[in-house]
Amino acid sequence: MGYLNLVDEPRIVVVNGAGEVRAYGRTGTLVWSKDVTGYAVKTSPVIADIDGDMATEVVVATRYRLMVMAGATGDTIGAYCKALGTDTQSTVGVGDLDGNGDLEVVAADGTVIRCWDIEGTVWGAGQQWPQFKRDEWKTGRYAEAASPRAPVVEGIEVVGMDSLRIRWGGVREDVYGRPEWLRRYRVYRGSAPYQASWGVQVGIVVAPDTTFTQRPGTVGDPNVNSYYRVRAEDQYGNQSALSEETVGEFELSTGAATGKEKAGEARR
C-alpha cells in the first residue's frame, strides 16, 4: 500500500494467481492491471522511488525476473528490470544500505543475493512500502502515528527589492529518531507572533527542497513585520509541529537614500 503518484490517495497493490499485478483505490476500484504471465510470482510487491523522478514505482520479483512498473500507470520500465536466477521466492527490499542517502534494491533467488544501486533517495518520493510487511518491525501497517520532527529555520533573506526567501534544515527523522520520508513542507505567514491559528498557509514545498520565496508586498514598509513558520508532512500525511516559536520576526525596510535592504535578527 502507498501513494503511486504522490497526488491522489494511497493505493493497494496486489499480485494474483493469474499472473497479474493490480492497483486498487481504497473503494476497490481497479486503477491499473499489469500482466506478468510467464513469470511465476510467489512474492509481494513493494513501492518505492526507483528512478529518482519524485514518483513511485512498483517492484515485483517474479521467479526469474525483477519487474519494475510505473506507479501511476503500471507501464513496465525496462531499464530497471533485471534478470534473476531461478526459483526466486523472496520479496525484494529497497533501502539505503550504505548510509549515503541513495537507495539500493536487494533481491535473492535460491542461491544468490543481488544488490543494485538506483537513483532514488531516502528524501525524495522515498519508500512507501519498501519491503515485506512494510518495515523492519514487520508491522504490516501503512499509516504511522509518529510525526516528523519540526523543521528548524536556518535563515531568511531579502531577494531583489520585494521578495523574502526562507531556508530551513531538511527533516530526516520522526519524533522518535527513526528515519522519516517526507512528502512536503507547508509554509505559513502571519501578521503577528503567536497567532492562535498562526496566519494562513502561503506555500507548499515538495521535499527535498528546503527553501521558499514569497513576495509579501510589504518589503520596504518599516511599519510591517513578517512572521513565518514551517511544518513538515511525511508520506503518510502525518504533520510535524510548527517550527519553534515564530521562526523569525523580521523588520524589513528600505533606506530612502541608499535603497539598501536590511533584515532584523531571527528569533528561533
Domains of the chain: 12-129 (2.40.128), 153-262 (2.60.40.10)
Burial state string for 245-264 with b = 16 or more CB within 10 A and e = fewer than 16: ebbbbbebbbeeeeeebebe
Q: What is the pLDDT of residues 40-72, one digit of tens each?
A: 688 999 998 898 887 889 999 988 889 999 999
Residues 148-152 have a mean pLDDT of: 91
Residues 211-217 have a mean pLDDT of: 81
By C-alpha distance, which of 70, 94, 69, 54 is closest to 183?
54
More confident residue, 142 or 250: 142
The pLDDT-based confidence of 111 (bands split at 50, 70, 90) is confident
Cell numbers 531568511 correspond to what residue? Answer: 156
Rounded Cα distance, 88 and 109, in Å: 4
Rg (CA), the chain: 23
Global pTM value: 0.59
Contact yes or no for 191/210 (Cβ under 8 A): no
